[in-house]
Amino acid sequence: MAATATAGAAAAPPPRQCKLDPKSELRVEVPPDAPLRVRLVAGTAEIFGTELPPEGWVPIPPRSKIAIFTWHGATLELDGVTESEYPSEETPMVVYVNTHAILDARRARARAAAAQGGDLEASQGPRVIVVGPTDSGKSTLCKMLLSWAAKLGWKPTYVDLDIGQGSITIPGCISATPIEKPIDIVDGIPLEMPLVYFYGHPTPSINPDVYKVLMKELAKTLERQFSGNAESRAAGMVINTMGWVEGLGYELLLNAIETFKANVVLEKLWKMLKDAVQSKPNIDVVKLQKSEGVVLRNSKYRQKTRSFRIKEYFYGIANDLAPHSNIVNFSDISVYRIGGGHQAPRSALPIGAEPVADPTRLVAVNISTDMIHTVLAISYAKEPDEIISSNVAGFIHVTDVDIQRYAWKPLLVCGLYLCSPGVNVIHSRKKLTYIAPCPGDLPSRLLIASSLTWYEA
Ligand SMILES: Nc1ncnc2c1ncn2[C@@H]1O[C@H](COP(=O)(O)OP(=O)(O)OP(=O)(O)O)[C@@H](O)[C@H]1O
């Protein structure tokens, strides 16, 4: 099939077939508002590690940028509009699958060591961390490594540290989930058992200390789970990182490698880390080539994608879920912000002591109309001081904040009507309206504020 670009095309082209040679891929970009479906007519093919079923049409979600790759050759049929579609034989897939094979061998070694009563280190499978700049294909490589491992029966843990995009749940979170089967082409990462810590902002620079603390909490919880589950331990982790690789971003990457005890670093297009971590024992740094198919996304596009991820949480990928609107009294909830606490004034400190800001301090937040359109996380914490070390149950989206309502009651004094705040009746409602994915009361009264906003169109 010749390279085509149908960007802006109003009418859908007729269904068309595309024959792919072995070890080649068809790269497709789906527009935001027109459906596309794909069918395997002959041969075998996969999308980022997940095989296309031998029969039937597969809907490709709007805004997707995908590659349909075949190892042994395939004929595909496409039905619908694309922004671009073209085949390519230049892919790094052989290198990627070889990397997978090495990881697989390490998992098998770890499992065998566990069966022979080996120590924790010997029974630990690969903890792979994928690093590199933005749009170098990190998330895509993670998906492939996870799906290929799951296809062989492993249940590796996917750890997503990329708070800018959020591939497990909404952006602003550090999360992890076991991957038990190849990642669904339509539904994405399974959401049955995610472990989610809420940072609440799309970039770590807002409060890197909190970002580090949350990474530590997640790593601690995973460590506990691994110590009681030899299979998960042998399957290991695949860790996705953010694309900020300079200055503070670089420091946070080194911190992530240490915190999650990563023992394989897969670099995409970037070798700065090599010098920093190669001197350490038991860490392998492997430089991998970037696929030419990876699509560059500007900041406006990323901002939009973040909004869509939040919308998807409430309305589903195919807009097939209906969130529930609910009203809660201010007195029934407590909202906190993690970090941003001001340092104590010098005058309040003992003589000679220097004021120290505690970036991880918990601050109670007054509920105000500023919260409208923001996302709040529902903490599993029992007490406020446990919030930073607790994962979250889910999210709500604030649609209205009713602070107070005045019922003017003018007084007739000497033939004049007067309005005085002193004598007016003030009807105070103090209610917050929100949408949530499920009906019923909130599972906890402890909520975490964020800078994540979403405007319902
Ligand atoms: N071979 C390919 N053909 C077509 N599209 C691709 C290919 N590989 C990746 N993509 C798409 O390119 C985009 C960027 O890739 P990806 O999300 O993996 O990069 P990233 O390094 O994780 O980015 P970031 O760090 O900015 O989140 C994604 O939409 C992805 O689906």
Pocket test for ligand 1, best of 295, 303, 309 (most atoms within 8 A of CB): 295
The residue written with tokens 């990474």 in the block is 215
| Predicted TM-score (pTM) of this structure | 0.88
| Model ipTM value | 0.98
Give the residue with greater pLDDT, 268 vs 436: 436
User: What is the per-residue pLDDT for 293?
Assistant: 87
Quick check: CB of 139 below 6 Å from ligand 1? yes
Lowest-confidence region among 45-49, 117-121, 162-166, 394-398: 117-121
Of all protein residues, the one whose alpha carbon is nearest to atom 18 of ligand 1 is 137
Quick check: CB of 65 below 6 Å from ligand 1? yes
CA 91 to centroid of ligand 1, rounded, Å:
13
pLDDT digits (tens, 9 = 90+) for 382-415: 999 999 999 999 999 999 999 875 555 555 555 5
CATH class of 93-288: alpha beta
CA 293 to centroid of ligand 1, rounded, Å:
8
Residue stretches of the annotated binding site for ATP: 25, 65, 135-140
CA 367 to centroid of ligand 1, rounded, Å:
39
CA 81 to centroid of ligand 1, rounded, Å:
20
Pocket test for ligand 1, best of 135, 141, 160, 291 (most atoms within 8 A of CB): 135
What average pLDDT does the segment 60-83 reach?
95
pLDDT at residue 358 above 50? yes
pLDDT at residue 342 above 50? no
Mean pLDDT over the full length of the chain: 88
Q: Does domain 301-346+356-448 have CATH number 3.30.470.30?
A: no
Quick check: CB of 82 below 6 Å from ligand 1? no
User: What is the per-residue pLDDT for 302?
Assistant: 87
Quick check: CB of 263 below 6 Å from ligand 1? no
Quick check: CB of 401 below 6 Å from ligand 1? no
Quick check: CB of 24 below 6 Å from ligand 1? no
Where are the domains positioned within the chain? 16-90, 93-288, 301-346+356-448
CA 197 to centroid of ligand 1, rounded, Å:
24
What average pLDDT does the segment 259-269 reach?
90
pLDDT digits (tens, 9 = 90+) for 188-198: 998 778 999 99
CA 71 to centroid of ligand 1, rounded, Å:
20
CA 181 to centroid of ligand 1, rounded, Å:
21
pLDDT at residue 154 above 50? yes
The CATH number of domain 16-90, selected from 1.20.140.10, 3.20.20.70, 1.10.1040.10, 2.60.120.1030 = 2.60.120.1030
> pLDDT class for 1, splitting at 50, 70, 90?
very low
Quick check: CB of 135 below 6 Å from ligand 1? yes
User: What is the per-residue pLDDT for 159?
Assistant: 98
